[in-house]
Amino acid sequence: MTDTTALLEVRDLAVYFRGAAGVARAVDGVSFFVDKGETVALVGESGSGKSVTALSLLRLIDPPGRIEPGSVIRFEGTDLLALDEERMRQLRGRRIAMVFQEPMTALNPVFTVGDQVAEVARIHEGASRADAWKRAVQMLARTGIADAERRARDYPHQLSGGMRQRVLLAMALLLSPALVIADEPTTALDDTIQAQILDLLRTLQQETGSAVLLITHDFGVVAEMAQRVLVMYGGQVVEAAPVRTLFAAPAHPYTAGLLRAMPRIGSRRTRLDAIPGTVPPATAWPSGCRFRDRCAHEWEKCASEAPVPIEVAPGHVARCHLVSDPARRAAANLAGAPT
Partner 1 sequence: MSDASTALVRARDLTRHFAVGGGLFRKPSNPIRAVDGVSLDIARGETLALVGESGSGKTTTGRMLLHLERPTSGTVTFDGTDLASLDAKSMRALRRRMQLVFQDPFGSLNPRMTIGDTVKEGLLIHHLAEGAAADARTRALLDEVGLRPEWADRYPHEFSGGQRQRVGIARALSVGPDFIVLDEPVSALDVSVQAQVINLLMELQRQRSLTYLFIAHDLSVVEHMADRVAVMYLGRIVELATRDAIFAEPLHPYTQALRSAVPVADPNVRARRIVLAGEPPSPANPPSGCPFHPRCHHPAKDESCARLVPPLEEKAPGRLVACFKQPPSSVSWEAQQAAGGTRAPTLHLPVLATDARPA
Minimum CB–partner distance for residue 300 and partner 1 (Å): 25
Query: Could you tell me if 232 and 319 are in contact, meaning their C-beta atoms sit under 8 angstroms apart?
Result: no
Say how far apart CA 86 and CA 317 lie, in whole Å.
36
Query: Could you tell me if 148 and 175 are in contact, meaning their C-beta atoms sit under 8 angstroms apart?
Result: no
Type of residue at 289: C
Binding mask 132-161 for partner 1 (x = CB under 8 A): --------------x-------------xx
Rounded CA Rg of the chain: 21
Which of 52, 259, 282, 318 binds partner 1 (CB under 8 A)? It is 259
Residue 264 binds partner 1, judged by CB under 8 A: yes
**Interface residues for partner 1 in 270-329 (CB under 8 A)?**
270-276, 278-279, 294
Nearer CB in complex with partner 1: 39/116: 39
What distances in angstroms separate CA 220 from CA 56, 158, 262, 265, one per listed residue?
26, 30, 10, 11
Residue 60 binds partner 1, judged by CB under 8 A: no
Minimum CB–partner distance for residue 295 and partner 1 (Å): 12
Which of 58, 118, 127, 163 binds partner 1 (CB under 8 A)? It is 163
Q: Residue 58: how many CB atoms within 10 A of its CB?
A: 18
Minimum CB–partner distance for residue 339 and partner 1 (Å): 15
Burial class for 267, CB neighbours closer than 10 Å (0-12, 13-18, 19+): exposed
Binding piece for partner 1, criterion CB under 8 A, among 67-75, 96-104, 266-274, 300-308: 266-274
Per DSSP, the chain holds a count of helices (H) and strands (E) of 13, 13
Query: Could you tell me if 45 and 252 are in contact, meaning their C-beta atoms sit under 8 angstroms apart?
Result: no
Q: What is the total residue count of the chain?
A: 339
Which of 40, 170, 222, 230 binds partner 1 (CB under 8 A)? It is 222
Binding mask 180-219 for partner 1 (x = CB under 8 A): ----------xxxxxxx-xx-----------------xxx
Q: Which residues bind partner 1 (CB under 8 A)?
A: 45-46, 146, 160-163, 190-196, 198-199, 217-224, 243-244, 247, 257-259, 261-266, 268-276, 278-279, 294
